[in-house]
Amino acid sequence: MTTSVFAAQENTAVNLDQLLTQLEQGKLFQNTQNEQREKEFLAKKAQQVQMLNEADARRTQLTQRSESLETTFEKNEIELANLSETLNNRMGSLKELFGVLQQVAGDMQGKFENSIISAQYPNRGVFLDELAQKMGQSSKLASVEEIERVWFELQREMTESGKITRFDAPVMNADTGTKNQQEVVRVGAFNLVSNGKFLEYVKQTGSLAELSRQPSDRYLSTASAVQEQKGELVEFALDPTGGSILGLLVQAPNMTERVEQGGTVGYVILAVGLIGLLIAIERFISLTIIGGKIKRQLKQATPSTNNPLGRVMKVKTDNPTADSETLELKLSEAILREVPKLARNLTFIKIISVVAPLLGLLGTVTGMINTFQAITLFGTGDPKLMAGGISQALVTTVLGLVVAIPTLLLYTVLNTRSRGLISILQEQSAGIIAERAEQGE
């Protein structure tokens, strides 16, 4: 950069004479360059003419070859049409055979893609697809070996459909997302199980994977049984649709999910029902113990204060000189003291049996309100938008009835047992009064 600037400063004209001299020198230099370029152009002109002549000759040659090839192509087309007609005439009924073979190959290829037998025998559909394309596009005839292989694959599919087969294959674990080489049991063309779980065949990748959600235990137990069987007969939940029924079973909500559909009202109903159940269990145990003590007291003459009957009979011992009327009043007072202990919390159980259906009705109304709000916002085009409110409405009603019916039965049983014990106290009290009245007479 510095050298160029310095050179420019040296060539800078100081006066007009120097400027004129520089312009004259530059003109002479340009004229010299132009003359040199003209000489070079004239020298290459002959070369360009020669190249043009060669290109014209090449074009003429290619044109003649093109015309020759067109003539040959036309002759070949005519000959090919004649040969095709001759081939059709000679094939006769074989043409229908190859047409049926092509159709069968196409149908089998689609069936094999969805068949779980392909998990054990992969890449069966590739041959059939190539055969169908070969016979359809290029109109080529199938060889004897290809016809025999189509028959073999069809026969193997039918044979394997009636077998329970074990083989090792990589299986995608639903929890970890990793593939593990493990034993797989194939039940015909219906189901695949491994490690006590149902598998699905992913036709896009030709791989096996555990169902992300397994069916209920009653079906999983049959999967474990068929995998552990050693030749004996076992029960197995067979899906004849090839996975459709199993998919519906997997989508069916379990008990926990059904309860969750009830929402807040459903949890309240369950909490109230649990409280009622705990109270009923406590009352059942308490009344059973008290009933046992009363039965033992009936066999003893000496009253004991560890049971209601003994405390009632002790009134007679504490008042040996009282007349029958006074004793009757004192016995009634003692029985009245024991009744609340025997009937304790039974009313609360009865209240729960009445309140539970009302809570279910509350959940029903709430669910229907949510449903109508969804209809108002989104219309009735998508039923899934209304499913949440309808589920809440129905589930809370069911939960209310599930809590109310057992609670009412428990109240009836406990109330009957409590009244039975109270009747024993009243009966023994009447006997004591009658005995005192006889002594007075």
The 10s digit of each residue's pLDDT in 146-169 is 888 888 888 888 888 888 888 888
Burial of 368 (0-12, 13-18, 19+ CB in 10 A): middle
What is the phi/psi pair of residue 197, to 5°?
-125, 150
pLDDT score of 6 more than 70: no
Smallest CA-to-CA distance from 186 within 194, 195, 178 is with 194
Cα-based distances in Å from 436 to 126, 294, 322: 105, 22, 9
Of the listed ranges 205-214, 237-246, 289-298, 352-361, the one predicted with least confidence: 237-246
pLDDT score of 385 more than 70: no
Smallest CA-to-CA distance from 183 within 228, 243, 218, 237 is with 228
Is the Cβ–Cβ distance between 200 and 211 less than 8 Å? Answer: yes
Mean pLDDT of the chain: 81
Confidence of residue 10 (pLDDT cuts 50, 70, 90): very low
Domain edges within the chain: 19-89, 98-251, 263-440
The confidence score (pLDDT) of residue 440 equals 65
| Greater model confidence, 96 or 92 | 96
- 170 CB contacts (<8 Å, ≥6 apart)? 179, 180, 181, 207, 208
Q: Tell me, letter by letter, the H, E, C secondary structure of 292-339.
A: HHHHHHHCCCCCCCCCHHHHHHHHHHHCCCCCHHHHHHHHHHHHHHHH
Confidence of residue 24 (pLDDT cuts 50, 70, 90): low
Q: Which region, left, alpha or beta, applies to residue 188 given φ > 0 means left and ψ of -120 to 50 means alpha?
A: left
Bridge partners of residue 197, in order along the sequence: 194
pLDDT by residue (tens digit) across 107-158? 787 788 888 888 888 888 777 777 777 776 655 677 788 888 888 888 888 8
The confidence score (pLDDT) of residue 22 equals 66
Burial of 40 (0-12, 13-18, 19+ CB in 10 A): exposed
pTM of the entire structure? 0.56
Of the listed ranges 61-75, 242-256, 299-313, 327-341, the one predicted with least confidence: 242-256
Burial of 220 (0-12, 13-18, 19+ CB in 10 A): middle
